[in-house]
Amino acid sequence: MIIAANWKMNPQPSDVASLFAGYCGDQRITQARAEILCFVPSCYLALAEQALEKTTIKWGAQNCHPEPSGAYTGEVSAEMISGFGGSWVLAGHSERRSGFGETDEFISAKLVAAIKAGLNVVLCVGEPKERRERGTQNQYVATQLAASLAAFGAETSDWQAAHLKQLVIAYEPVWAIGTGLVATTVQIDDMHTHIHAQLEQRFASLQAGAMPPILYGGSVKDDNARDILSLPLVGGALVGGASLSASSFAAIAGCADMVI
């Protein structure tokens, strides 16, 4: 099971050291049976390396560019992330898709580039509110997942089988992120079952063992984490706002340990 913190554009420089210290000082995080990840703003990668390198916590960035270098002002490459000890990166987060116009094709390219650079990737997919209301969420997510994995699928079968273990999926219903709305456990279970079926259909022929785990990322908090993480096809959580409190994030990690 994976419990991942997505700090987004937080915290302020004056608070980052104390947040790292809070993570490192809580045994529910440092001694968790779940795998603990921390996705920090890229400007904090060096600080993450200093703070976390002697702990069990893995760290990474929230975004990367498909190219290893070049005239891409403001961007960060997968090689730069790994250069600061990062081993993970997010791809396709809904806030990147909607706020920065990232297409499935672009996300697909960065996913493969990151994997080839040795990073593990959490690929985010999820439907907007109008799709949920119209009852077309399954079709939407299936299309999004297929398009975002197109470049991965274009590689040879041997390559896919060798690198499938570097891929994690996160289901984030867009309508439940920062809105106060929370998906029911039935809705979460239904979508995770749907995504799992899509992954099996796509990757079963590789004979590569277990399918990529599917995290849930929609307003996960310490008061709902145990119910969500108890669902059979939920392989962990991608935690946003609650990850900015070390005690709240530790409580979620503790919930994970209860259900492993």
3-state secondary structure the chain: CEEEEECCCCCCHHHHHHHHHHHHCCHHHHCCCCEEEEEECHHHHHHHHHHHCCCCCEEEECCCECCCCCCCCCCCEHHHHHHCCCCEEEECCHHHHHHCCCCHHHHHHHHHHHHHCCCEEEEEECCCHHHHHHCCHHHHHHHHHHHHCHHHHHCCHHHHHHHHHHEEEEECCHHHCCCCCCCCHHHHHHHHHHHHHHHHHHHHHHCCCCCCCEEECCCCCCCCHHHHHCCCCCCEEEECHHHHCHHHHHHHHHHHHHHC
Specify the pLDDT at position 204. 82
Specify the pLDDT at position 182. 81
Average pLDDT over the chain, rounded to an integer: 96
Domain enclosing residue 186, as ranges = 2-259
Specify the pLDDT at position 177. 85
Q: How far apart are CA 215 and CA 34, in angstroms?
A: 12
pLDDT bracket for residue 193 (50, 70, 90): very high
- CB 232, CB 11: distance < 8 Å: no
In tens, the pLDDT along 228-253 reads: 999 999 999 999 999 999 999 999 99
Lowest mean pLDDT among 84-93, 118-127, 129-138, 173-182: 173-182
Specify the pLDDT at position 178. 77
Specify the pLDDT at position 84. 97
Specify the pLDDT at position 205. 83
Q: Enumerate the active-site residues.
A: 93, 172
Residue 207 has pLDDT above 80, yes or no: no
Q: What is the mean pLDDT of the segment spanning 160-184?
A: 92
pLDDT bracket for residue 208 (50, 70, 90): low
Percent of the chain with pLDDT over 70: 99
Domain count, the chain: 1
pLDDT bracket for residue 210 (50, 70, 90): confident
Lowest mean pLDDT among 3-7, 28-32, 60-64, 202-206: 202-206
pLDDT bracket for residue 209 (50, 70, 90): low
In tens, the pLDDT along 31-79 reads: 999 999 999 999 999 999 999 999 999 999 999 999 999 999 999 999 9
**CATH of residue 11:** 3.20.20.70
